[in-house]
Chains A and B, each alone.
Chain A
Amino acid sequence: MADPPVPVEVSGEDFDTLCAPEVARGRGAHRSFAAAFLENRMGVAGLGIVSAVAAFCFLGPLVYHSDQVHANVALTNLAPGAGHPLGTDANGFDILGRLMVGGQSALEISLAVALVATCFGALWGAVSGFTGGVIDAIMMRIVDVVIAVPAIFLLIYLATVFRPTVPLLIVVLSLLSWLGPARLVRGETLSLRTREFVEAVRAAGGRSSRIVGRHIIPNALGTISVNATFQVADAIIILATLSFLGFGLPPPAVSWGGMLSLGTTYLLDGYWWEVYPAGLIVMVTVVAFNFMGDGLRDTLDARLRER
């Protein structure tokens, strides 16, 4: 967003991509894309922070041991100090260790949601846009209907009807997140389906499923992957909001939003360590994913302009 797109040199491979879009799936094209991405400072910073957060959440507990299952009244609301670098919360849980465990579910769920929602949405959008006519109209009205209700309202309702579990959250969040990619990929498909290479496949007797699966989706892959990155950021925010409001995974599951919610109770007592670390890590993670998405998009835009 802030940085001007980095110019990329046109290589022979890029020329191939221009003539035969399917070559874009070859290894060479990917390598030059990675190289271009690595020149984007914001994108690389985002990738770096995301990797650091992931390492903190998944590798951290291997080095830093803390009990996140048994509450300990003797250790409640301790200020940061020896033994507890970030203090403890109202139940005596170590905050630093809790941030790690809470991050695991946040990252797992949001990555799974981005993956499922993006795949399903991309397929839906591609089929809808490629088929056109009545089917397209019906498929898109279905998207309009589900999009008409803000996700948080549906999520809270479903969380009151069912008891939230990790798989359920993934399914429900995905059901509410595929709409964006579906609209995006449909738009992309509408322009792709009139291209010569689609005509060529059709003239050669290729079936619709082959055109969508082998030609349309691979060509929309750039748009799809940029969107998937933003989807992860959105899922993290929605998950944290849901657990902040008390409709996330029930205890003993740990979540960043839940930590914030508990810490808020003690805001007036000045227990800052129960509020700020959890809030900061949500923000930093979301910013990092958005940076990555912006970086990917800039790299992609630059490449498209080069073509």
Chain B
Amino acid sequence: MIGYTLRRLAQAVIVLLGLTVLVFVLEHMIPGSLARAILGPRASAGEIATFDRVNGLDRSVVSQYLTFLSHLLHGNLGYSYRLNQSVDSLVVHELPNDLILVGIALFFALAIAIPLGIAQAVRRNRALDHVATGVSFLLYSMPSYWLGLLLIATFAIGVHVFPPEAPQAASPAGVLADPRALVLPVITLTLVNVALFGRYMRSAAVDTLAQDYVRVARSKGLPQRAVLLRHVLRNSLAPVVTLLGLSVPAVLTTGLVVEYVFNFPGLGLTYFNAAVNADYPVELGITVIVGIATVLGSLLADLAYAVLDPRVRYG
């Protein structure tokens, strides 16, 4: 297990380094120069030169990359010249809000998808299975903002049950203080993820149900409940744990869209606003965070899988 962990960790470090190179290249793709993009078209040559010198942009590409890397390692994600604020302070300020939104949605998504997937597998090709498959197919094929709009049109405009906008408080406590406004964004994010996890849970449970140990458990007279909880559920969870780790990019993508539709004060909305204002440092800073989250997600997924299924580490 130690060897496997070390190998997998080394791989993650390499990928993270590659990610920093990618972001560095993206930063240098800005047409003209960073100085020009920030100081504007009327800046004089002298001002540009000063900006370049102060920010180390007049040095060689390699030296600039090393500075960039050392900044990142010290937790310095860059500086937003538009907001006059460091990107780290933005992230520290808004990440908790995202964790609340995504955390609640993932909790509900798993709480629904796991039992639903098992129920579908047990009653395979019957009415419940067909309906659930159809609905998840629809949800899966729907752009997430379209789902959000439908919910707003129904529950905020059609019948005035929930507000169309997410909580507007800036702090996590404020966000949690307005649970009614959280309902629609959470439902949108939950439904999209139920569709994703439910499909996998169903096929994992179908595979598990066909295993010999399930037949043994049944033939020794275990009640259905015990078979499902003790054997099917536990053995079907491993693929779902992997999927959870690998779904980080999908969840973040949906998060961005949902935050935009419901005006939720999180990193996704900040990313969108930064893009509208051509605030490159904020965009790239958040891209780095998102990339790290994705790499960590797949690393944890692999390690968790190795713990849950010993065949992997010796394979």
Min C-beta distance of A24 to chain B, whole Å: 27
- A156 in contact with B283 given A144-B15, A149-B294, A150-B249 (CB within 8 Å): yes
Check if A144 sits within 8 Å of B18, measured CB to CB.
yes
Min C-beta distance of A120 to chain B, whole Å: 18
CA distance A203 to B29 in the complex (A): 48
Contacting residue for A2 out of B134, B138, B256, CB 8 A: B134
Min C-beta distance of A175 to chain B, whole Å: 11
Which residues of B1-40 have CB atoms within 8 Å of chain A's CB atoms? 11, 14-15, 18-19, 21-22, 26, 29-31
Check if A240 sits within 8 Å of B19, measured CB to CB.
no
**B256 — which chain A residues lie within 8 A by C-beta?**
152-153
Cβ-based interface call for B290 (8 A)? yes
Check if A153 sits within 8 Å of B286, measured CB to CB.
yes
Cβ-based interface call for B64 (8 A)? no
Could you give, for residues 279-307 of chain A, a 1 whenever the CB lies within 8 Å of some chain B CB and a 0 otherwise? 10011001100100000000000000000
CA distance A233 to B310 in the complex (A): 37
Check if B283 sits within 8 Å of A141, measured CB to CB.
no
Cβ-based interface call for B287 (8 A)? yes
Check if A2 sits within 8 Å of B19, measured CB to CB.
no
Cβ-based interface call for A62 (8 A)? no
Which residues of A132-168 have CB atoms within 8 Å of chain B's CB atoms? 141-142, 144-154, 156-162
For the A-B complex, the count of residue pairs with Cβ-Cβ distances under 8 Å equals 132
Min C-beta distance of B310 to chain A, whole Å: 22
**A268 — which chain B residues lie within 8 A by C-beta?**
157
**B144 — which chain A residues lie within 8 A by C-beta?**
241
Cβ-based interface call for A244 (8 A)? yes
Could you give, for residues 233-271 of chain B, a 1 whenever the CB lies within 8 Å of some chain A CB and a 0 otherwise? 000000000000000011011001100100000000001
Cβ-based interface call for A1 (8 A)? yes
Could you give, for residues 285-306 of chain B, a 1 whenever the CB lies within 8 Å of some chain A CB and a 0 otherwise? 0110011001100000000000
Check if A141 sits within 8 Å of B153, measured CB to CB.
no
Check if B137 sits within 8 Å of A1, measured CB to CB.
yes
CA distance A245 to B260 in the complex (A): 8
Interface size counted on chain B using CB atoms at 8 A: 52
Check if B252 sits within 8 Å of A241, measured CB to CB.
no
**A4 — which chain B residues lie within 8 A by C-beta?**
125
- Stretch of B69-77, B100-108, B221-229, B272-280 on the interface side: B272-280
Check if B141 sits within 8 Å of A287, measured CB to CB.
yes
Check if B149 sits within 8 Å of A264, measured CB to CB.
yes
Which residues of A237-271 have CB atoms within 8 Å of chain B's CB atoms? 237, 240-241, 244-247, 257, 260, 264, 267-268
**B19 — which chain A residues lie within 8 A by C-beta?**
145, 148-149
Check if A141 sits within 8 Å of B146, measured CB to CB.
no
Check if A267 sits within 8 Å of B149, measured CB to CB.
yes
**B152 — which chain A residues lie within 8 A by C-beta?**
267
Min C-beta distance of B206 to chain A, whole Å: 12
CA distance A283 to B134 in the complex (A): 13
- A241 in contact with B22 given A149-B287, A275-B153, A290-B137 (CB within 8 Å): no
For A2, the closest partner residue in chain B by CB is B133
Contacting residue for B22 out of A146, A237, A240, A267, CB 8 A: A146
CA distance A145 to B21 in the complex (A): 9
Check if B290 sits within 8 Å of A153, measured CB to CB.
yes
Check if B146 sits within 8 Å of A279, measured CB to CB.
yes
Check if B275 sits within 8 Å of A159, measured CB to CB.
yes
Min C-beta distance of A113 to chain B, whole Å: 16
Check if B290 sits within 8 Å of A156, measured CB to CB.
no
**B249 — which chain A residues lie within 8 A by C-beta?**
147-150
CA distance A157 to B18 in the complex (A): 18
**B138 — which chain A residues lie within 8 A by C-beta?**
283, 287
Could you give, for residues 104-138 of chain B, a 1 whenever the CB lies within 8 Å of some chain A CB and a 0 otherwise? 00000000000000000000010001100110011
**B280 — which chain A residues lie within 8 A by C-beta?**
157, 160-161
CA distance A234 to B138 in the complex (A): 14
Check if A148 sits within 8 Å of B278, measured CB to CB.
no
CA distance A292 to B29 in the complex (A): 38
Contacting residue for A267 out of B30, B134, B157, B199, CB 8 A: B157
CA distance A149 to B294 in the complex (A): 7
For B279, the closest partner residue in chain A by CB is A160
Check if B18 sits within 8 Å of A145, measured CB to CB.
yes
Known contacts A157-B275, A160-B283, A267-B152; 11 additional CB pairs below 8 A are A1-B199, A2-B129, A2-B130, A2-B137, A148-B295, A149-B290, A150-B249, A153-B287, A153-B290, A241-B144, A247-B275
- Between A and B, 9 residue pairs with Cβ closer than 8 Å are A141-B15, A147-B294, A153-B253, A157-B284, A241-B144, A245-B272, A260-B149, A275-B153, A287-B141
Q: Give B residues with C-beta under 8 Å from A.
A: 11, 14-15, 18-19, 21-22, 26, 29-31, 125, 129-130, 133-134, 137-138, 140-146, 149-150, 152-153, 157, 199, 249-250, 252-253, 256-257, 260, 271-272, 275-276, 278, 280, 283-284, 286-287, 290-291, 294-295
